[in-house]
Amino acid sequence: MKQPEIDIEKIALLGEQKEKENFDFRTFLKGHDFKRIDKIVHRLDKEIRSQINCKDCGNCCKSLRPCVTNLEIDTLSKIDNLTQHDFVSGFVEIDNFEQIKYLKDTPCKYLNDKLCSIYTNRPEDCKSYPHTQKTEFITRTLGMIDNYGICPIVFNLFEQLKEELNFK
């Protein structure tokens, strides 16, 4: 396995430059067997994660807003010594169309340098990021394209998957 790219600035630039290619790749993937792609993605994910330490990066915490549940809001409000109402008023945005709650600040208010100050209590959306270990990868490629220029794991996984599937 080759060395993964971890330069965040380079990854962001390539994310912009390869946007059309990534959408073409998304279309290309639609013609493949879901289970076969999941097997390949999970293998690549494991290989790439073994070479990249998310705690050395923190770029997701600088760029994204995680979804939060009511239970997580309760936990976070206690950590901040606030009522749930005050926490929601100050730090949560609600998507009324999809009924999803997000932490509204970027970078994340809990980011300290490149580390999460509430790591053991972070929301599940943060724990499972970048979601490459989940099933049905083909159905989540729009999110992967969004994360391609942000996350070294997604970037390297997408590039290695293109190579393995002889895309272009």
Helix axes 152-164, 141-148, angle to 10 degrees: 120
Alpha helices, DSSP H, located in 55-151? 59-63, 70-79, 84-91, 124-127, 141-148
pLDDT of residue 2: 80
pLDDT digits (tens, 9 = 90+) for 1-51: 689 999 999 999 999 999 999 999 999 999 899 999 999 999 999 999 999
HSE value, Cβ hemisphere, 13 Å, CA-based, for 130 = 34
Is residue 55's pLDDT more than 90?
Answer: no
Locus of tokens 């190579």: 163
Over residues 67-73, the mean pLDDT reads 97
Distance CA(97)–CA(61), nearest Å, equals 24
pLDDT of residue 1: 66
Q: Where is 116: in which H helix or E strand?
A: strand 115-116
pLDDT digits (tens, 9 = 90+) for 107-156: 999 999 989 999 999 999 999 999 999 999 999 999 999 999 999 999 99
Identify the three-state secondary structure at position 92: strand
How far from chain centre, in Å, is Cα 145? Answer: 10
